[in-house]
Structure 1
Amino acid sequence: MSERLKGKVAIVTGASGGIGRAIVAELLSESCTVVGINQSEDPSNIGYHEFIADVTNRTRIEEVVDEVIKKFGRIDILINNAGVTKDTLFYRMSYEDWDYVINVNLTGAFNLTKACIRELVKNEGVIINISSVVGLEGNIGQANYSASKSGLIGFTKSLAKEFGRKNVRVIAIAPGFIETPMTERLSEELKSKALERIALRRFGKPEEVAKLVKFLIIDGTYITGQVIVIDGGLEL
């Protein structure tokens, strides 16, 4: 086990999900103190400090961030990873489907960042927003999800410009098809069609995204305001 992040404190939203759990494991492997924010309790917690909160609930998020600072004394890294889908063709998309996805995926990232930003500035921290390739390219039946992930990219680029002078780095990662519970719900036909469009002919692993996150935090010290695509050569 390395100790390159020893003494650092990271917050990861959606810590119990496929990508979130892999990110937590990578940060723990570097002796980072990891705080995971989940909407419900994670029965297979792998060693992080869990807080239960809805990222859309600003009052609760502020309470959690205050508790983290009181308990650990600092926040150095924020990973906005919490995300949901409500896929359907636009004609069928309800207002509730739109609001739900935008509020969790985009407004949730705003809420966490707003609550953490003073600590991140104080500690010259890093913010990594987990976007998606559909935030760059769009996708049929995902107008709400694509809009939320595209919004995260604009959010990332704006904050990178605003806080670069404070030595806070802000980066977006845009994964393609990754082996998570979200992609497991796809039909075999859709999976097969997706594989035909991926140059490497396989879905990515959550650990591959997590290793990219770790690289950007530890070694990518001159990278900010960028969108890093990790999609195996996906043609959309």
Structure 2
Amino acid sequence: MKKILLTSGTSGIGKAILYHLLSDNDKNQIIVNYGHNSDTANQIYNSLSEINKKRVTFIKADLSKYSEAKNFTDFVIKKFNNIDWIILNTGIDAKKNGKRVVFGDYDIETWEKVIRTNLSIPTFIIQDLQKNINENGKILFMSSYAGIEPYSGSLVYSVSKAGIINLTKSLLKFFDHKNIAINAIAPGFIETPWQKKRTKESYDRINKKIACHRFGKSEEVAKLCIDTLNNDYINGSIIEIHGGYGYF
């Protein structure tokens, strides 16, 4: 039985990861973080079988705030004491009033919130939990293909996800004594709630650049995450999943 921590697990890729974790035949225990929408978390919980309800604990914490992140890790340590898998899936883009902010309109607060949420707080979550991660444990970060190939439409997002790539490789050396495998997934354009307001023209323009000529599905990314976690020889890797973006 594994003890698993998943952040931002009630929407998009995180939700798909949760369902994959629950589809196995093991009796793994899972702590699922969500940031804001308690109704959605309750709906997911109520939709689960009675067996799976006993496997999952939902905990609300806004992981863009250091204080709530610390309360969250304190809860995890009290609940689990030791952890096998950590899946850090939380990420935000630079937005104001629901609209993406371009580089020329950034202010310090916008920049620092994205860096804090996407890079700094995941780093300090691992720091807080370092003594509680079991030997031969697994840490999986959610980076982005934008962290590999810069995306000027969201500069700070790209920078934060590039930081996650470096963090993944750097932490590998720090945790060598416990043989902890650390990897990151780097998705391209994935069909998630983030894409709700995208126009048909935008879809068509992007799909022309993707060899598969479509956006990816959350389930496809989730399956890759689970396969990576289950493979003991994948370590220190940044695994891209973007359908062949940039080949056209």
TM superposition score normalised by structure 2: 0.86
Structure 1 runs not aligned, ≥5 long: 1-6
* Structure 2 CA distance for partners of 1:89 and 1:28, relative to 1, 3 Å: same
Matched, 1:51 2:59: yes
Aligned amino acid, residue 169 of structure 2: K
Partner of 2:21: 27
In structure 2, C-alpha distance between the alignment counterparts of 1:164 and 1:228, rounded to whole Å: 20
Partner of 1:4: none
In structure 2, C-alpha distance between the alignment counterparts of 1:12 and 1:134, rounded to whole Å: 22
Deviation of 1:115 (Å): 1.7
Q: Which stretch has the larger CA shift, 161-170 or 175-184?
A: 161-170
In structure 2, C-alpha distance between the alignment counterparts of 1:185 and 1:101, rounded to whole Å: 20
Partner of 2:186: 174
* Structure 2 CA distance for partners of 1:70 and 1:89, relative to 1, 3 Å: closer
What does residue range 114-153 of structure 1 map to in structure 2 within 5 Å?
Answer: 114-120=127-133, 122-153=134-165
Structure 2 runs not aligned, ≥5 long: 46-52, 95-99
What does residue range 182-221 of structure 1 map to in structure 2 within 5 Å?
Answer: 182-218=194-230, 220-221=231-232
Task: Tell me if structure 1 keeps the 8 A contact 2:81–2:132.
Answer: no
In structure 1, C-alpha distance between the alignment counterparts of 2:221 and 2:208, rounded to whole Å: 21
Deviation of 1:73 (Å): 4.1
Partner of 2:110: 97
Deviation of 1:71 (Å): 2.8
Provide Cα deviations, 1:171-213, integer angstroms capped at 9, x if missing partner.
Answer: 0100011110012222221111110011011111111111111
- SS in structure 2 opposite 1:126? strand
Segments of 4+ moved more than 4 angstroms? none
In structure 2, C-alpha distance between the alignment counterparts of 1:198 and 1:115, rounded to whole Å: 39
Indicate the structure with greater strand content. 2
Task: Tell me if structure 2 keeps the 8 A contact 1:26–1:210.
Answer: yes
- SS in structure 2 opposite 1:106? helix
Matched, 1:39 2:35: yes
Q: Which stretch has the larger CA shift, 150-159 or 35-44?
A: 35-44
In structure 1, C-alpha distance between the alignment counterparts of 2:177 and 2:195, rounded to whole Å: 39
Provide Cα deviations, 1:56-75, integer angstroms capped at 9, x if missing partner.
Answer: 43343333333333333421
Q: How many residues align?
A: 228
Partner of 2:77: 69
TM superposition score normalised by structure 1: 0.90
Aligned amino acid, residue 227 of structure 2: F
- SS in structure 2 opposite 1:223? coil
Partner of 2:241: 230
Task: Tell me if structure 2 keeps the 8 A contact 1:55–1:112.
Answer: no
Tell me how large the CA RMSD over aligned residues is: 1.7
- SS in structure 2 opposite 1:221? coil
